[in-house]
Amino acid sequence: GQNIDQPTEMTATEGAIVQINCTYQTSGFNGLFWYQQHAGEAPTFLSYNVLDGLEEKGRFSSFLSRSKGYSYLLLKELQMKDSASYLCAVNTGTASKLTFGTGTRLQVTL
């Protein structure tokens, strides 16, 4: 079976740094995606990792360790608009067959 785990909720302060972890156990692996979803809106693509290491994109970075089945999303200089759910998804097939975690709801406070 497929299993992807993320914390359910996190709270952080505006201007701070927050790390959202994701661990996975899947029957196949062809890359890991992070999506952001604001309440009532569609998920939007943030990052993609297929090789081990860190991918940096502005205030957001994502890390992957395939041997540990582990990824994290790092958000720097938090802003109020970063309050959203962050979804970890693993591509388990040759097509874009994504298996999602339940998502981490991040609340940014003043």
Partner 1 sequence: ETGVTQTPRHLVMGMTNKKSLKCEQHLGHNAMYWYKQSAKKPLELMFVYSLEERVENNSVPSRFSPECPNSSHLFLHLHTLQPEDSALYLCASSQDGTSGRASYFGPGTRLTVL
Looking at 18, 63, 72, 99, which residue binds partner 1 (CB under 8 A)? 99
Q: Is the Cα dihedral 65, 50, 22, 63 positive or negative?
A: positive
CB 27 within 8 A of CB 14: no
DSSP 8-state class, residue 81? G
- Structure tokens, 90: 């693993």
Residues between 29 and 88 that touch partner 1 (CB under 8 A): 30-31, 33, 35, 41-45, 48, 50, 87
Q: How far is the CB of 110 from partner 1 (least distance, A)?
A: 28
Q: Report the distance separating Cα 13 and Cα 110, nearest Å.
A: 6
- Residue closer to partner 1 (CB basis): 27 or 110: 27
Looking at 89, 104, 106, 108, which residue binds partner 1 (CB under 8 A)? 89
Amino acid residing at 1: G
Binding site residues, partner 1, CB under 8 A:
4, 30-31, 33, 35, 41-45, 48, 50, 87, 89, 91, 93-103
